[in-house]
Structure 1
Amino acid sequence: MALNHTINETNKEYMIFAGSLSSLMAIENHKANNPLITQIQNSINTHMTINNNKIKLVWIPSHIGIEGNEKADKAANLAHRLPISNIPIPYSDIKVIINQYMASMWQQEWSKSKSFLRKSTPKIEPKGPKIITVERRFQTAINRIKIGHTRLTHTWILEKKT
């Protein structure tokens, strides 16, 4: 959606803020196999090469207090009332949904089991990467470094002075 505002502009710099880290990581992954992600990547590349624009993707852990993001949240909530579109679901997304469903069914069957092993392992946990959570203060510091807005650069950004 934000890319649409850059279509007719040339030689500009844009920062697109998003609350979904996984989406931004998928967009930055050059081996993405999701058609929607590929379409976004192509659009970004087009705007950067043909229009000579610079586009920076920035993750923000929360939308609270940022006017543009609060408007985006409202628009997303209104979208729930729209009719369902026929966007094809990528195989990779279907695979995740099926795997989650199968794990749920497996857990239900395991919970009913009278096996001795169930007593030592009551919950089946899927293997995969563990998600690490970080304090908001640390997230904020990392994001400021990523976008180049720190105490050292504050005056230069606001006043273009060194």
Structure 2
Amino acid sequence: LKNCYLGKLDNYIVYSIAHEIDYSTKNYKIQWIPGHIGTEGNEKVDEAAKRQIGEFDVQSTVPHTELVLKLKHKLAEEWQIEYDKVSEVKGIFHHEIVPMVHLKAWFQKVKLTRRQIVVLTRIRTGHGLINRTLKLFKMVETPNCVECGTVETMEHVIMHCRKYREARSNCPLFEKYGTLKEIISSKDIRIYKELTAYL
């Protein structure tokens, strides 16, 4: 609370509470009550926060905004390490098109419909109503394409399956791009719209 008196009034609520406590005749005891024990993601954030705070003097005059930025940076570093590790086994395609973690969703501030966002997210994650995904959930006997006999991935269905050869020939998008990775990595909203219109 001492930092509230250093002329940094960027948190009015904390400042008001500190002011009330200072000028009150009552004694107050402040206690931390953890509100999300047992939630794995939140516990990881707590651990990172504790490690980060350990690097600073509690009586520090460093503004909390700077501490928050440092904490976000540290969490992003740890998330990146975990993301890289997990992506060696699963989510390989997603990691190829999005090698760096982002704190904001890819579709924020993008003018796409909900349907377009859902379709593109399924493509990016490689999960949809395709045999490879359905086999993971034991909903089909084989991960292979019924038409071609090869593993039915998003790449296969959209770019290579002979069942959709004629439809692809009518879409100029497939003349310019040879792989799904190239299309998704373009980050071009017009191309995304063209792809979802084709699908």
TM-score for both structures, normalised by structure 1:
0.24
Bigger RCO of structures 1 and 2 (CA < 8 A, at least 6 apart): 1
Pick the structure with greater CA Rg: 2
